[in-house]
Amino acid sequence: MQELTIVKVGGKVVEEAESLASLLRDFSSIKGPKILVHGGGRSATTMAQRLGVETKMVEGRRITDTAMLEVVTMVYGGLVNKSIVAGLQAHQQNALGMTGADMNIIRSKKRAKGTIDYGFVGDIEAVDAKGLSELLSAGAVPVIAPLTHDGQGQLLNTNADTMASAVATAMSEQYRVTLVFCFELPGVLLDINDHESVVELITPEKYRQLKMDGVVADGMIPKLDNSFAALHQGVAQIRITNTQGLAGGANSGTVLKL
């Protein structure tokens, strides 16, 4: 099976000039077929503020009304996505910016109103692995913004971590997929103040231990739950690292394995 690297990069990395430059360089050094999935929440919040659109978050998830959907469509699909694409092109990467609507690569369903109405937020229903693999075979490097569509003309705001996992899972039928969650820290840290304290390997058993010890808490728990679910669905390997760890080798972060 051919190797495929899927990198999910958080908002903070793509939104600061220095870390973006590092991402562009380090992502470009990854060999073989690859896909980048990016966030952009902080930029969206800033832009919303400038436009007088109120940002409402519930448990870390953005409530997306019509005005906020306009903001995220502009910021994720336009500003952040195209800056990354133009930046990767300067590194001779054949980057192609996409949302789930483009070539219908990721279709979702508007989340039903429960106790909370998240608004125009999509839960993924289908990833077109065949379409994506044709683009990869043609030498393209898809750069995916966290927006999907319902196939009826409606764009939907979609969590970038979830998108990356869904794409990784779908692509695992055809490729040996490494999914990399790239953020500002070098990996899962035993001591948040010590960047040398990277946990090199997390198995399900080790994960239970780390949760009990309180090393993994808060926002990391859904990320890791999500990651183990992807491993159970066929993703070969998951790494958590910063841009320097992208190309692999030594100091390449925390590896998650079953």
Site of interaction with its own copies (CB under 8 A): 24, 47, 50-52, 70, 73-79, 81-83, 85-87, 89-90, 94-99, 101-104, 134, 138, 140, 147, 149, 151-155
> Which residue type sits at 126?
A
Beta carbon of residue 185, minimum distance to its own copies (angstroms, whole number): 26
Nearer to its own copies, 77 or 187 (CB): 77
- Let me know how many helices (H) and strands (E) the chain has, helices first: 9, 14
Beta carbon of residue 46, minimum distance to its own copies (angstroms, whole number): 11
Beta carbon of residue 242, minimum distance to its own copies (angstroms, whole number): 21
Of the CA atoms within 13 Å of residue 52, those in its CB half-sphere come to 0
Nearer to its own copies, 83 or 178 (CB): 83
Nearer to its own copies, 51 or 217 (CB): 51
Strand ranges in 45-146 using DSSP code E only, listed in sequence order: 57-58, 61-62, 95-98, 106-110, 122-127, 141-144
Q: Is 116 helix (H, G, I), strand (E, B) or coil?
A: coil
Nearer to its own copies, 30 or 69 (CB): 69
Beta carbon of residue 27, minimum distance to its own copies (angstroms, whole number): 14
Nearer to its own copies, 28 or 226 (CB): 28
Per 3-state DSSP, the chain is made up of helix, strand and coil in percentages (nearest 5) of 40, 25, 35
Give residue 129's Cα distance to chain centre.
Answer: 17
* Owner of token pair 């930046």: 87
Beta carbon of residue 65, minimum distance to its own copies (angstroms, whole number): 16
